[in-house]
Amino acid sequence: MSVQGEKCELAFTGASGFVGRALHAHLSQCPRKFQIIERPALEGLLAGDTGLLPEKLPPVLIHLAGRAHVLAETATDPRTEYQRTNVTLTLALARAAAARGCRRFVFVSTIKVNGEATAPGQVFTESSAPAPQDDYAQSKYDAEQGLWALGEETGMEIVIVRPPLMYGPGVKGNLARLQRWLERGLPLPFGAINNRRSLLALENMVTLLVCCADHPDAAHQLFLASDNDDLSTPQLLRKMARATGRRARLVPVPGPVLRLMLTLLGRTGLAQRLLGSLQVDCRKARTRLGWAPLPTDQTFKEKSP
């Protein structure tokens, strides 16, 4: 059964997270009803207890809660932790949601399901073969597969979104680290890098999720997401600097030299993210849903140096 109407009621998880806070703020400004599924209810599901979930759920549930990609892993068994939170919990929630009247389940996955990089001139699309390369990406892919099967079994509409690296207020990880370096005025050795990276602004992610919740043609679909405005690492750093009224001090160190230096320091993953390319084609979401992402010149809200 398709979800009808431009603005249906919905519920979502992960309200305290990076995307969840922004979605909550967006929905609070709209004339629509929404419901937050709190952490205790999700913890209960992991224990096999559905008693803390409402007996009746809205037509749409957006699932944001999960174990995010961890840069400095401390768990003794990361794979088990990812599988428990991102697969077991997701499928338990989806099954319980279907039993409580939910007709559409929107799941936020990751572009890492497709892989860590794209070759020059190549982009990931919805038809690209999955190639997860770490426990986090594998758990998201496993959850996707379980959801497609559950949708076939129950008739609940499944919608999956794979975003790339997101940015916006409250971002953590490598982007937060780069922002701190820029704020300190440190010279950064990325001036000669000529890669292409797809990013996704937090506000663009929120509007896409709302499209996926509301649009009838989102049913049973996978969407890749981006700002549709790919950047090199130097371009990204300059936009980040200008957004805070600063100037990026970029030193032109050759890419192979910089990659070797980072590899010798044990930062191979960081080297790939800062020096390599990862491009995403978001054409399907734009054409099928009429979603129009804001360009980076607006999302970074640039100021004059």
Question: What amino acid positions are annotated as catalytic residues?
Answer: 136
Show the beta-strand stretches assigned E in the chain. 10-12, 34-36, 60-63, 104-108, 157-162, 165-167, 199-201, 221-224
Residue 42: CB atoms within 10 A of its CB come to 21
Q: Phi then psi for 158, rounded to 5 degrees?
A: -105, 135
Burial grade of 127 (CB within 10 A; 0-12, 13-18, 19 or more): exposed
Structure tokens at 30: 């709209």
159 closest CA partner among 99, 113, 94, 101: 94
- Which residue, chain included where needed, has tokens 């004059």? 304
φ, ψ for residue 107, nearest 5 deg: -115, 130
Distances (CA, A) of 41 to 54, 238, 252: 9, 43, 51
In which residue are the tokens 């913890």 written?
43
Query: Which amino acid is located at 170 in the chain?
Result: G
Q: Are 99 and 45 in contact (CB under 8 A)?
A: no
Rounded-to-integer distance, Cα 200 and Cα 145, Å = 24
